[in-house]
Structure 1
Amino acid sequence: MRGLPPFGSPVATIKASAPAKVNLTLHVTGQRDDGYHLLDSLVVFADVADQISASVAPDLRMTASGPFSTGVPTDHTNLIMRAAEALRSVRGVTKGAALALEKHLPHAAGIGSGSSDAATTLAMLAELWQVAPLPATAPEVVALGADVPVCVGAPRPVRMSGIGDVLSPVAGLPDCAMILVRPPVEVPTGPVFQSLATKEGKPMDALPEGLDYDAFIRWLAAQRNDLQIPAEAIAPEITEAIDKLKSLPAVSLARMSGSGSTCFALVKDMATARHVARIVQVAKMDWWVAPAALL
């Protein structure tokens, strides 16, 4: 996670960023007997982020502020608190922590903000409490949710498969930027998966090494987000957002991230991303629009 001091440096307060997770692809390749879906996804992280701070305290407590803090629980049901409790239990920590979340990313939006918050919290508290961090493969991390393990490794791009627990590094991706757009609609993940025409889709094609921007776009265009069609059926606003992005000449590719409703567009550089973001924001003042660099 960005913003953390070197491990082993005692500090009273730690601040860190929890970056947005973007699924550039999302193939649903099967379903286990226990109901978990098998996925194959290229995951990247963007430089728009929630901000979290942690200070040593006698107990665990949490506050939430920021533009998207409305409705965010601050009790043990929040993934941040669950992550803190898991680390404290596994490492036998007796100290607590005062956690403060500045929520700049929309929640329930397909960009893993809650999972990124939890993963960032695990890294922060390991440093704050001076204990070994939990690896992404730890059962306690996997139990926090399918997106938490991949977020533990942020900001490195990764191929995520299995139920989110099989993480494979990918070769360096070409320089590019993106625009994140979320229309004001929430899409429930359960009905999206239930509406899939098939749950036995083909996995991603192998990602060649050394792709330039144009070749990367061509590779991405041949991949899928299998959840996009059922999500669009539930929330036509997603179709509107993607069509708006595709209508702009500078946009090379537009697609939905995760299970929605955030959509992304890829462009060549940040100057172009800012320009496209301004156009979209002026046209749709009630949409969340954010130009972002890939980390």
Structure 2
Amino acid sequence: MAITEIAYAKINLALHVRKRREDGYHELETLFAFVDAGDVLRASPAARDSLTVVGEFSGFLSDPFDNIVMQALGKLPRPEGLDIMLEKNLPVAAGLGGGSADAGAIFRIVEQAHGLPDNWPARASTLGADVPACVESRTCIGRGTGTELEIVDGSLADKPVLLVNPRIPLATGPVFMAWDGEDRGPLPLGDARHIALEGRNDLQASAISACPQIADVLDAMRGTEPFVARMSGSGATCFALYESNTARDLAAERIASGHPEWWHLKGNLR
């Protein structure tokens, strides 16, 4: 029996980098949220695991054996294989956790088909610090490297969101390395909406230095009067939150008209 799962686009409504750790990772405090759209994965029982990639951004994933989907399948014991069709709708290296979201969807597919082992969070975290959050795909605070999760309130549930990317891939490592090292303090206390409003993205400046077009995207989005607009993750995708679907749709139309070369996605927070 076939199973279909959406790999929900991940955004960091706030991302506070506290310090660089001795192990080379960074101590983070972030507010994860997820959009009700993203890549689509379709799974069917098979004699062995296999992967086919289609969609607008499929060309960026040329080696299926090096794909995080296959790595995720390898982390989960099962009595049979899965044939996966991945429709790659999210840009790659975009600050949306696209690969991690795909891995999260695989964990949910295997959970439906066979159940997950009790230590699934540890297995997920070996694939990436944000993969456990992507398995849950709920608004939550991530601490440590992002794997220590705390589910938060639903004050932003169903809020309209617009994602915009200048179609320029931006690798995470160099953006983190260019961070200025200044600890600007923890996430603010309060509900998810307050954290989103009062938080910040400490990687935004270093990302803009590497990709100045991010500043252009933010300027365009802020001109559509969202209640918050910010870069997600290490970039280059930016998000804007609105009070109504109508406001979001008008913003998307305006940005698409002024910058047809940019990628954009409309959705609502889960």
The question of a shared fold, defined as TM-score above 0.5 by the shorter chain, is answered with: yes
1:98-247 counterparts in 2 under 5 A?
Answer: 98-128=83-113, 130=114, 132-134=115-117, 138-154=121-137, 156-174=138-156, 175-198=158-181, 200-208=183-191, 216=193, 219-247=195-223
Matched, 1:259 2:234: yes
Q: What SS class does the counterpart of residue 104 from structure 1 fall into?
A: coil
1:43 aligned to 27, 32, 56, which one? Answer: 32
Structure 1 residues 53 and 74: alpha-carbon distance in aligned structure 2, compared to 1, 3 A threshold: farther
- Please state how far the C-alpha of 1:221 moved relative to its aligned partner: 3.6
Residue type of the alignment partner of 2:128? G
Distance in 1, matches of 2:165 and 2:124, equals: 28
Task: Encode CA deviations 1:118-172: one digit per residue, 9 max, x unaligned.
Answer: 01111102323x2x31468632211000110101111x21001111110001112
Distance in 2, matches of 1:118 and 1:276, equals: 31
- Please state how far the C-alpha of 1:196 moved relative to its aligned partner: 1.0
Distance in 2, matches of 1:119 and 1:188, equals: 20
Q: Which residue of 1 aligns with 2:245?
A: 270
**CA RMSD for the aligned pairs?**
1.7
Listed as ranges, the gaps of 5+ residues in structure 2 are none
- Please state how far the C-alpha of 1:47 moved relative to its aligned partner: 1.5
Q: What SS class does the counterpart of residue 196 from structure 2 fall into?
A: helix
Distance in 2, matches of 1:241 and 1:136, equals: 40
Structure 1 residues 70 and 229: alpha-carbon distance in aligned structure 2, compared to 1, 3 A threshold: same
Structure 1 residues 136 and 69: alpha-carbon distance in aligned structure 2, compared to 1, 3 A threshold: farther
Bigger shift: residues 57-66 or 136-145: 136-145
Q: Percent identity?
A: 35
Residue type of the alignment partner of 2:13? L
Distance in 2, matches of 1:35 and 1:266, equals: 33
Return the TM-score normalized by structure 1. 0.87
Larger Rg: 1
Return the TM-score normalized by structure 2. 0.94
Q: What SS class does the counterpart of residue 24 from structure 1 fall into?
A: strand
Aligned length: 269
Listed as ranges, the gaps of 5+ residues in structure 1 are 1-11, 210-215
Distance in 1, matches of 2:2 and 2:235, equals: 34
